[in-house]
Structure 1
């Protein structure tokens, strides 16, 4: 799961990033609204933490863009120094799921994040997002930066296995048995060929926010690229 943290205070952003990483999440930090919107245009994230008072673009515009591009299932938390009741209700009406008063109380922040994640994980998402990649398992479709990528049946199956095991080393024999389960005439070179094709087609050299690494003597590992 990849979090986007939009916060112009470097120290605040680094603390939030460290907190989320300690819970096992990937985090991308943006110091202003412009850089965040450029990344959002390239593909969505799984969870958004937005500073309402940025130097260049107001929080309501960012929240609106998130809802416009990513829908209403993705969680959005706003951090703000303003705590008046009317202002807080405006934030929620404009599309945020929750707000965190500044200065941020970090244990409360993590608790609120976890509440929203439990709510989201109780639903069955129509699309799964991994960096800039959108995966529709039921429809057997995959998109990079919003554009559908044409994959063969085996390429798609391999992509699903890799995306569902980000950060884990998968041996070539394990991948063979998962993807080519009924094909006895294939060997590990087939895995290498398909992995090479996926790296090009899905931008798995970092362009998609994911990096497919060959682990010497073992197999492959797909990692999220932190910024």
Structure 2
């Protein structure tokens, strides 16, 4: 059901905003539109939204800056809209916590489809955790405890560890992790996975210094020990 899903559109071009409002409303979502970053920040701090569609270039600032501020208090999914297709811009957007990145001009139906994919992925039911697992996963709250300690995770660290917990002992290649965690894996380097695994391991060691539950399988990928 999409009826309860509220989408915030942050876009200063009325024609583009009207098109997005129409297609998303037609798809069953509720929408709210603002044209300035500061207005968007106020709305995001005071109202519950399911997803944000955020233009990178706005009259009062850069959408990347809003995303950075947003990630300090919320894990809400973010889709960037931009007139620039430069690879570095796409990489920056994804690295700071965006879930997808769409270059103008775009198909409004494609945007609606991507919105649906992201919301279905985040709302999917969780498999039963392995018995006696040291991990306690709370998907709805976006929290994971390890050996009784709450982990301070970034969005992508959370999604990586969540995937591992849901599939203990399964080996995931870098390509599979890119496909499952990053919405547009073609714009992300393999080393991005390695970097996130490294920081994730460091945080796990802070909770249990004598444990290293993430296994590296040379030439294959990574897996999580079931206990």
Please report the TM-score for the alignment, with normalisation by the length of structure 2: 0.52
Aligned length: 125
CA RMSD in angstroms comes to: 1.5
Corresponding position of 1:78: 80
3-state SS in 1 of match to 2:71: helix
Give distance in 2, aligned partners of 1:41 and 1:86.
29
In the TM superposition, what is the alpha-carbon distance from 1:44 to its structure 2 partner?
A: 3.2
Residues 44 and 70 in structure 1, CA contact (< 8 A), matched pair in contact too: no
Give distance in 2, aligned partners of 1:65 and 1:40.
11
Give distance in 2, aligned partners of 1:4 and 1:107.
17
**Structure 2, unaligned stretches of length 5 or more?**
126-138, 143-227
Per-residue deviation, residues 66-88 of structure 1 (Å, max 9, x unmatched): 221212xx211000011111221
Residues 55 and 80 in structure 2, CA contact (< 8 A), matched pair in contact too: yes
3-state SS in 1 of match to 2:66: helix
Residues 2 and 47 in structure 1, CA contact (< 8 A), matched pair in contact too: yes
Q: 2:18 matched to 1:14?
A: yes
Runs of 4+ in 1 over 2 A off after TM superposition: none
Corresponding position of 1:108: 110
Residues 23 and 109 in structure 2, CA contact (< 8 A), matched pair in contact too: no
Corresponding position of 2:99: 97
3-state SS in 2 of match to 1:5: strand
Please report the TM-score for the alignment, with normalisation by the length of structure 1: 0.52
Per-residue deviation, residues 117-150 of structure 1 (Å, max 9, x unmatched): 12111154138xxxxxxxxxxxxxxxxxxxxxxx
Q: 2:38 matched to 1:23?
A: no
**Structure 1, unaligned stretches of length 5 or more?**
128-227
Residues 82 and 104 in structure 2, CA contact (< 8 A), matched pair in contact too: yes
Instruction: Decide which of 13, 31, 40 is 1:36's aligned counterpart.
Output: 40
Corresponding position of 2:55: 51
